[in-house]
Amino acid sequence: MTTHTRFCPAKVNLFLEVTGKRPNGYHELATLFAKINLGDTLSLQVRPASETQLSLTLTGPIGSQLRADESNLVCRAARGFLEHFNLTADIQMTLDKQVPTGAGLGGGSSDAANTLLALCEIFGKDKQALLPLATKLGADVPLFMYDEPFLKGEGIGEILTPIAAGGLLPWLVLVYPNTFISTKDIFGSFHLPPAPEIRANTERLTRLIDCIRQAQSITQWKPFLFNRLTQYVTPISQPVQNALDDLAKNAESVLMSGSGSTVFALAQTKQEALKIADNMRKTGRMVFCTSFYTPKK
């Protein structure tokens, strides 16, 4: 029997513009993903078997909200891996679920990707061979197949370019407004902005990437932080609007992640982040104080 445990980091979007729509209905993006040190923990026990057997146990504060059957992305990833390499195995998985669902944090995508990565290590397979499978599992899954914390995303989010960050990075305070946002519903009502506006915003993304590479302060990041989807989420979700408003009273650089519902603020120091987090916890929401992800060597 082989046992393997992996941390599955969540992500935020520091920038998100929608740049086009494909004939199949998928929207094209220009985005900057940033992985964070908030995440789930996945443990796998793998035994040889003549027929594939999968089991999943969910723990943690969010575990009871999910189904522990083969509809779960973790199980779909494990079965997809075995089928891709024509393997069979008995795989018992335990997922300690800390990241809220429907929160714009990519928790399920990270769980799926790290299932694939764990099985690659156990069976000695090349993760590059699984990028097409990762994309089929979900548009954000390929992001978590990379070690780098910051990645520019294009296409539907699957064309990824790692960004090297220089020097000390800000801290983050995440606020989950206790509500679920359907990405499908948000994009279903989406209308592309004018082309000149898209071009101007993609220039903002370039400037933001420069700030990160040059280890500039969050004061210099602030003008370039952007999420196009906020204007579609806040009119239909008062909890998200309220969370943004309350967070803006305590911090300057405030943004929604992905299609929501989580909102977050950047803070230059840990002490500043802890103060913001303490103030936001008084509102009764789920609050996380964390840093940008640092992969283990």
Of 187, 141, 166, 222, the closest CA to residue 27 belongs to 187
* CATH of the domain spanning 171-291: 3.30.70.890
Report the catalytic residues. 11, 140
Query: Region 154-180: what's the mean pLDDT?
Result: 93
For the chain, the structural domain boundaries read 2-163, 171-291
Query: Region 256-261: what's the mean pLDDT?
Result: 96
Query: Region 49-55: what's the mean pLDDT?
Result: 97
| Confidence check: pLDDT of 112 > 90 | yes
Of 285, 26, 293, the closest CA to residue 149 belongs to 293
- Please give the pLDDT value at position 297: 61
Query: Region 47-53: what's the mean pLDDT?
Result: 96
pTM of the model: 0.95
CB atoms within 10 A of CB 245: 12
Q: Tell me, what amino acid is at 197?
A: E
| Confidence check: pLDDT of 166 > 90 | no
Fold category of 2-163 in CATH: Ribosomal Protein S5; domain 2 (3.30.230)
Q: For residue 276, give every residue at least 6 positions away whose Cβ sits within 8 Å of its Cβ, in sequence order, or none.
A: 173, 247, 250, 251, 265, 267, 289
As a whole number, the mean pLDDT across the chain is 95
Residue tagged 């020097």 (tokens)? 167
